[in-house]
Amino acid sequence: MIGIPVIVFGFGPSILGWYDDGHRIEVVCNVRSAEASISSSRSAKGAGGSEPQVAFDTDCGNLLYLDGIDRSNMKQVASTIDAGEDYRFEVGAGSYNLRSVLGVLKVAPTIYRYAEVRE
């Protein structure tokens, strides 16, 4: 009984992060907003704590961009996002497919890359 929660909560984020690193997918989502923050929320890769991030609120759910984000550039990165526009995101397949379950735990999929969709 005790072993299952220990495995899920102790090793789950690392296993999911490793899986996501090797299994990336592209999704197109409409962005409602992007906010620079330093938050205690975690990504599926286990990142979190006091790390700077850009949190995307999309019609696909919440997504976190951490790569290359620091206190000096987080606001500038967030300000380049056009609310109401579609963006193509590269995310880990595991955390993206489990995002509704992970959302209950305040965990969001990590974005590897993103670009605005141009018609």
- The neighbour count for residue 79, using CB atoms within 10 Å, is 10
Tell me which amino acid residue 86 is.
Answer: D
For residue 8, the model assigns a pLDDT of: 52
pLDDT of the chain, 119 residues: tens digit per residue: 565 555 555 556 777 888 998 999 999 999 999 999 987 645 555 554 578 999 999 999 999 999 999 999 999 999 999 999 999 999 999 999 999 888 788 888 999 999 999 87
CA distances from 57 to 1, 5, 16, 119 (A): 36, 29, 22, 22
How far is 86 from 66, CA to CA, in rounded Å?
20
How are beta strands 52-58 and 110-116 bridged, if at all?
Answer: unpaired
How far is 55 from 108, CA to CA, in rounded Å?
9
For residue 24, the model assigns a pLDDT of: 97
For residue 1, the model assigns a pLDDT of: 57
Say if residues 46 and 13 touch (Cβ distance below 8 Å).
yes
Threshold 0.85, pTM exceeds: no
Say if residues 64 and 109 touch (Cβ distance below 8 Å).
yes
For residue 73, the model assigns a pLDDT of: 96
